[in-house]
Amino acid sequence: MTTASNTLSHSQQLRAKINLLIPALAGAGRALIDHPDLAELYPKYLFTLHCMTRATVPMMELALDRSRELAASDPVAAGMIAYLEKHIPEEMHAHWSLEDLEALGYDRAVVLRQIPSPTVAMLIGAQYYWIAHYHPVALFGYMEIAEGYPPTLAQVERMMAATGYPREAFRSLRRHAYLDLEHRDELHAVLDSLPLLPEHTSVIGMNAMQSVELASRAIEELIPKHAAAAAA
């Protein structure tokens, strides 16, 4: 008997799982964008974004190393190598959010001395665990969240209007609005090309859903009422 899940590609199955929780991430984003104090919150959001994006290349490099180690006996790991080799250079843009903060008058050295959110550390730290202690393919669950749901250009324009900040302070978000969608499509292509077993699809989905939860929490913590509730 053929079920609906049997007729879906790996990437479609992953998106179906994520869609169960994505309203939480979308809601956190709306709460930030619609907040009356967005001008005050936006630099904090940029710092949170930077804390996430600066970890992307090291995570992918670790996944590439592990994939090479496993490749001789693991066709899934072997199939990841070309994708990671191609995309690691394309992900070297953590400096974009720092440049946006500099456009707002922040000193880069001072920004880099700030302590990242423990929630972000949990989100990123989980990726290292999955890669090193289970299978590097788990990283694709996080990448689907990081690449697959960027703010839209319309949302970025709303943020610009609400804050009154110059366009130079939104270069990172504007670039991600279209580049991430290209990266998402390329991620889907490699997911659908891999000979994934049930345990692979399960861990990718598990990591994606946990990533939605933690990414949502990281944004909510920037918003005063959510931060107060979390601390209570």
Answer yes or no: is pLDDT of 232 > 60.
no
Task: Please list, residue by residue across 98-114, b when 16 or more beta carbons sit within 10 angstroms of its beta carbon and e when fewer do.
Answer: bebbebeebeeeebeee
Whether the Cβ atoms of residue 171 and residue 96 lie closer than 8 Å to each other: yes
Answer yes or no: is pLDDT of 227 > 60.
no
On whether the pTM is more than 0.75, the answer is yes
Residue-level pLDDT at 127 = 98
Answer yes or no: is pLDDT of 192 > 70.
yes
Q: How far is CA 216 from CA 31, 62, 95, 165, 210, in A?
A: 11, 25, 23, 24, 10
Answer yes or no: is pLDDT of 92 > 90.
no
Taking only the tens place, the pLDDT of each residue in 29-50 is 999 999 999 999 999 999 999 9
Which amino acid type is present at position 164? G
Pick the CATH number of 24-224 from 1.10.40.30, 3.40.50.300, 1.10.630.10, 1.20.910.10: 1.20.910.10
Average pLDDT over residues 187-210: 97
Taking only the tens place, the pLDDT of each residue in 159-185 is 999 999 999 999 999 988 877 778 888
Answer yes or no: is pLDDT of 156 > 80.
yes
Residue-level pLDDT at 229 = 46
Extents of the domains making up the chain: 24-224
Reported confidence tier of residue 53, pLDDT bands at 50, 70, 90: very high
* Residues whose CB is less than 8 angstroms from the CB of residue 31 and which lie 6 or more positions away in sequence, other chains included: 219, 220, 223, 226
Taking only the tens place, the pLDDT of each residue in 109-153 is 999 999 999 999 999 999 999 999 999 999 999 999 988 888 889
Residue-level pLDDT at 3 = 47
